[in-house]
Structure 1
Amino acid sequence: MTEAPTLNLKIEFGGGLELLFDNKRSHRVALPPPPPSDTQAAPTDINYLIQWMKDNLLRERAELFIENGTVRPGILVLVNDTDWELEGEGEYELKEGDEVVFISTLHGG
């Protein structure tokens, strides 16, 4: 079994989410492949990216970004400028050079 390659991705944040991620709006990351399960290689999908971001990029208040293992309601996710709902949401398998944008649509007042 060959291991999946590291993927180079661009991750961007808007609507205040950048405050949770070291106050940086844009990150270029080398996403390592997920650990394989007992039977097969796990997919390098957005679900995996979200967990990796939680463990490696998120600096504070995880509850403002993640709920029940995925992004909280009110966070718009775009994959290469397309709503992730049209791409299979968390099951979208990431490709080299993809750009994933997370935008909070909830604002305090």
Structure 2
Amino acid sequence: MTSEPEKINITVEFSGGLELLFSNQHHHKVTIPSHQQKTDEKSNTTQGPRTTIRDLVTYLCDEVMKDPRRDLFVLDGTVRPGILVLINDTDWELEGEDAYEIKEGDAVLFVSTLHGG
């Protein structure tokens, strides 16, 4: 039995030069599934775990990022060092980093702290 997952709406912002990787847009409204889908041996799709920041980063790279330089945003499957991540104005290190479970209305800000010179 396949069921459509519930969707949640969040705001994603990029700053410090990261917006260049995302069509030069600072602000994005994103609608994502509230839970990941999983399929068992009988080809039944069921609701999996809640969507996390890790899932959001994958979604952003696959669906929102138009620039081919993915490695400027992601390294080894997570946000690259030198990028500050704020979840609802709180450092993601206080929220569980990429394991944070995204909720309706969350605001996620990615800020590059790396500067050329």
Tell me the TM-score normalized by structure 1.
0.92
Deviation of 1:43 after TM superposition, in Å, equals: 2.3
Q: 1:58 to 1:106 in 2, by over 3 A?
A: same
Amino acid at match of 1:44: T
Amino acid at match of 1:94: I
Is the CA contact 1:3–1:41 (under 8 Å) kept in the aligned structure 2?
Answer: no
Q: Which residue of 2 aligns with 1:63?
A: 71
Percent identity of equivalent pairs:
55
Number of residue pairs matched by the alignment: 109
Whether 2:32 is the aligned partner of 1:31: answer yes
| Separation (CA, whole Å) in 1 of partners of 2:90 and 2:39 | 30
Deviation of 1:18 after TM superposition, in Å, equals: 0.2
Deviation of 1:4 after TM superposition, in Å, equals: 4.2
Q: Which residue of 2 aligns with 1:76?
A: 84
Is the CA contact 2:18–2:111 (under 8 Å) kept in the aligned structure 1?
Answer: yes
Is the CA contact 1:46–1:93 (under 8 Å) kept in the aligned structure 2?
Answer: yes
Is the CA contact 1:15–1:105 (under 8 Å) kept in the aligned structure 2?
Answer: yes
Deviation of 1:5 after TM superposition, in Å, equals: 1.3
Q: Which residue of 1 aligns with 2:10?
A: 9
Other structure's SS at 2:49 match: coil
Unaligned runs of 5+ in 2: 41-45
Is the CA contact 2:85–2:109 (under 8 Å) kept in the aligned structure 1?
Answer: yes
- Report the structure number with the largest CA radius of gyration: 2
Tell me the TM-score normalized by structure 2.
0.86
Q: Which residue of 2 aligns with 1:52?
A: 59
Other structure's SS at 1:36 match: strand
| Separation (CA, whole Å) in 2 of partners of 1:65 and 1:37 | 29
Q: How well do the aligned residues superpose, as a CA RMSD in angstroms?
A: 1.8
Alpha-carbon displacement from aligned partner over 1:45-89 (angstroms, at most 9, x marks no partner): 100000010100111110100000001000000000000000000
Is the CA contact 1:13–1:25 (under 8 Å) kept in the aligned structure 2?
Answer: yes
